[in-house]
Amino acid sequence: DAKTTQPNSMESNEEEPVHLPCNHSTISGTDYIHWYRQLPSQGPEYVIHGLTSNVNNRMASLAIAEDRKSSTLILHRATLRDAAVYYCILREFQGAQKLVFGQGTRLTINP
């Protein structure tokens, strides 16, 4: 499985944008980039995914580099409820399509 690298922790302020980076230099052409988050005492929650183009949904935006070796999850206006561990994961298109979780980025939001 191709690996991802994320900072261990990040901190931001409430109502400000947050950019969470992820490096995946060994990504293959068929790997999708998925982001999940895990709030305290809960199971992981799907956030967003993409292949080549930037993606937007109600939760966040995903910016994918042109060479696909990195991506950034953007929370446009962070709230206290966005404090969580964020996981950047590469998922193969074929086969098991399993999620391989790394350690993720622990995001702290200051009031």
Partner 1 sequence: DADVTQTPRNRITKTGKRIMLECSQTKGHDRMYWYRQDPGLGLRLIYYSFDVKDINKGEISDGYSVSRQAQAKFSLSLESAIPNQTALYFCATSGGQEAGPQPQHFGDGTRLSIL
Q: Which of 3, 13, 76, 93 binds partner 1 (CB under 8 A)?
A: 93
Least distance (Å) between residue 111 CB and partner 1: 25
C-alpha R_g of the chain: 13
Least distance (Å) between residue 32 CB and partner 1: 5
68 forms part of the interface with partner 1 (CB under 8 A): no
Which of the stretches 14-22, 31-39, 64-72, 76-84 binds partner 1 when contact is defined by CB under 8 A? 31-39
Of 79, 66, 65, 63, whose CA–CA distance to 20 is shortest?
63
Q: How far apart are CA 32 and CA 93, in angstroms?
A: 7
Query: Which class for 99: exposed (0-12), middle (13-18), buried (19 or more C-beta within 10 A)?
Result: middle
Alpha carbon 79 to its chain centroid, in Å, reads 17
What are the φ and ψ backbone dihedral angles of 92, each rounded to 5 degrees? -70, 150
Q: Which of 27, 64, 91, 107 binds partner 1 (CB under 8 A)?
A: 91
Q: Which of 40, 43, 53, 67 binds partner 1 (CB under 8 A)?
A: 43
Interface positions with partner 1 (CB under 8 A): 32, 34, 36, 42-46, 49, 51, 87, 91-93, 96-104
